[in-house]
Amino acid sequence: MTEALIDPFGRAVSYLRVSVTDRCDMRCVYCMAEEMVFLPKPEVLSLEELERLCGLFVRTGTRRLRITGGEPLVRRGIDGFLQSLGGWLNRGEGRPGLDEITLTTNGSRLAGFAPLLRRAGLKRVNVSLDTLDPERFRAITRVGRLERTLEGIQAARAEGLAVRVNMVAMRDTNEDEIDSMIAWCGRVGADLCLIETMPMGDTGEDRTERYLPLSLVRARIERRWTLEPSAYRTGGPARYARVAETGRRLGFITPMSHNFCESCNRVRLSCTGTLFMCLGQDDAADLRRPLRAGLPDEQIIAEIRAAIDRKPKGHDFIIDRRDAPGAIARHMSVTGG
């Protein structure tokens, strides 16, 4: 195996998030503008190009891959791409290979894809679901249909995939549903993860008003539910507790109120081949240029190493003003969350 990727702070990069498309069949208010302009097709890497880059990361020590977007399941050819990446799974100790491939999806097409995901070797999926109320679901996603996401979750469970529901907790929007979501996840056998709103990309909405610190949410949850400590980690930024009454895990992702950077092992590859070393910083490396210039693997790996050498210590989100210096201009759908 080629030497591992280690950043200047001694953190080994072993987790790659890959956004396979910036397109989506929903327009969530915190993520996209209503009239979103998507990237011109020639700028987007083919799935073969993305697969080659993934392979280079695997050779340099990546053990986990998360496929995201935009909505990954709207990308044509995604089935073959996942099958092909599945070939890197379980290759045994000491050989470059993946321990895990996961997917983050809005669930709209999950019902049709669940059997294929299982066959490709996925064991768990994250499904975004902010509300169980059809009208609210429509208001938050602008165009989505709740029943399709619910069917997707059922289908994934039926295929034996573990499901984690991702819920962005928003003031005056869905904060009154957190208890019912905990109970519902208990019934369907899913874990739940609460996420703070991050200031990424102009969505035509002011997120300041919706920002809800999870420290406050947690205190409210603890009045009704018993949260037991849990050491469970997935390699991602969530910190977990176990809900004694349901037996399911409850995660908290708190980029705004708690800095989770010290153990960061992640980098993100956009669908244009741009490598972001930190979700909350603008610095990036263009891997499409060396790829399309036909450079050999070793030279592209050298460019990846040069980028990892610039991985910052942490992010610095600020949510006070939409145009505040801590806000990030690119949309979450570009980097994939």
Binding site for ligand SF4 (CB under 6 A): 24, 26-28, 31-32, 69-71, 106, 128, 333
165 Cβ neighbours under 8 A, 6+ residues apart: 126, 127, 128, 129, 153, 181, 185, 190, 191, 192, 193
274 binds, among ligand SF4, ligand SAM, none (CB under 5 to 8 A by kind): none
Which range binds ligand SAM by CB under 6 A, 24-32, 154-162, 242-250, 279-287?
24-32
For residues 224 and 198, what is the distance between their CA atoms, to the nearest angstrom? 27
Nearest to 101 by CA among 71, 57, 67, 53: 67
Rg of the chain over Cα atoms, rounded to whole angstroms, equals 19
87 Cβ neighbours under 8 A, 6+ residues apart: none
In terms of CB distance, is 60 or 333 closer to ligand SAM? 333
Beta bridge pairs of residue 98: 89
User: Rule CB under 6 A: is residue 24 a binding residue for ligand SAM?
Assistant: yes
For residues 337 and 333, what is the distance between their CA atoms, to the nearest angstrom? 7
CA atoms within a 13 Å half-sphere pointing along the CA-CB vector of 23 = 11
67 and 103 Cβ atoms separated by less than 8 Å: yes
Judged on CB neighbours under 10 Å (0-12, 13-18, 19+), 100 is: middle
Q: Tell me the residue nearest to ligand SAM as measured from the CB.
A: 337
Which range binds ligand SAM by CB under 6 A, 44-52, 101-109, 236-244, 288-296?
101-109
User: Rule CB under 6 A: is residue 332 a binding residue for ligand SAM?
Assistant: yes
Residues 192-211 that bind ligand SAM (CB under 6 A): 195, 197-198, 200
Reduced to 3 states (helix: H, G, I; strand: E, B; else coil), residue 310 is: coil
User: Rule CB under 6 A: is residue 252 a binding residue for ligand SAM?
Assistant: no
Q: How far is the CB of 138 from ligand SF4 (least distance, A)?
A: 13
Q: How far is the CB of 201 from ligand SAM (least distance, A)?
A: 7
User: Rule CB under 6 A: is residue 78 a binding residue for ligand SAM?
Assistant: no
Q: How far is the CB of 148 from ligand SF4 (least distance, A)?
A: 12
Site map for ligand SAM, 58-77, x if CB under 6 A?
Answer: ----------xx-x------
> Where do contacts with ligand SAM occur on this chain (CB under 6 A)?
24, 30-31, 68-69, 71, 104-106, 128, 166, 168, 195, 197-198, 200, 332-333, 336-337
